[in-house]
Amino acid sequence: MGRIDLWVNNAGISGPFGYALDIPPDAWEQVIRVNLLGTYYGCRAALPYMIKQRNGQIINLSGGGAKRAQRFLSAYSTSKAAIVRLTEAFARDYQDHPYLRFNVLTPGMVPTDMINHFETVGPGGEAIKQLPRVLRIFGTTAEETAELALRIVREGKNGQVFEVMPRHRAIWRLLKAALARRNNGSTG
């Protein structure tokens, strides 16, 4: 159609779930290639069209690791933190192009095939057993992610990180789960 008004880099993989040194180097590198370099090349594909038409917005999806490393997911966490810095770099590099916007969306733990089918290595296999409980407390939905993406498009901000599960919401969910567990324990 000759235009790219909105580009969303949403592809990503988690890689094996385990200690950083237990992950084979080629598997660790693959996560970086897919998540970080995939985002970079996606931006490179869309940006020339946006510059030519003097309009465009890129939303890069980040995730666990954007603010702090996730246990047993060193490559994933590293790639997602790097996506935030990459997005900030694009926003700063192209700040003289006010018609361009670059933002990050962190969807939280959306129960997708990636989360539901972790490959585990070493003690990661035991730790992954807690995932269903963690998802019940901290899980988000694809609908919440889509709503936030629409808000990003409407608000017209640049160089920002938008979270479906910000810290205050995570703390609230954790408190609700603790209260529910306490109430269920005291009535039983």
pLDDT in tens, 58-96: 999 998 778 888 888 999 999 999 999 999 999 999 999
- Is the pLDDT confidence value at 25 over 90? yes
Residue 50: predicted pLDDT: 97
Would you say 166 and 108 are in contact if contact means Cβ atoms under 8 Å apart? no
Gap between the Cα atoms of 13 and 29, Å rounded? 11
User: What's the length of the chain?
Assistant: 188
What pLDDT does residue 188 have? 46
At 170 the pLDDT is 64
* Mean pLDDT across 93-106: 96
- State the Cα–Cα distance between residues 116 and 31, nearest whole angstrom: 17
Measuring CA to CA, which residue among 150, 156, 146, 162 is closest to residue 104? 162
Answer whether residue 139 shows pLDDT above 80. no
Please list the active-site residues: 76
Least confident of 70-74, 113-117, 142-146, 175-179: 113-117
Which pLDDT score is estimated for 133? 72
Predicted pLDDT at 121? 79
pTM: 0.83
Tokens of 96: 């003289």
pLDDT band with cut points at 50, 70 and 90 for residue 126: confident
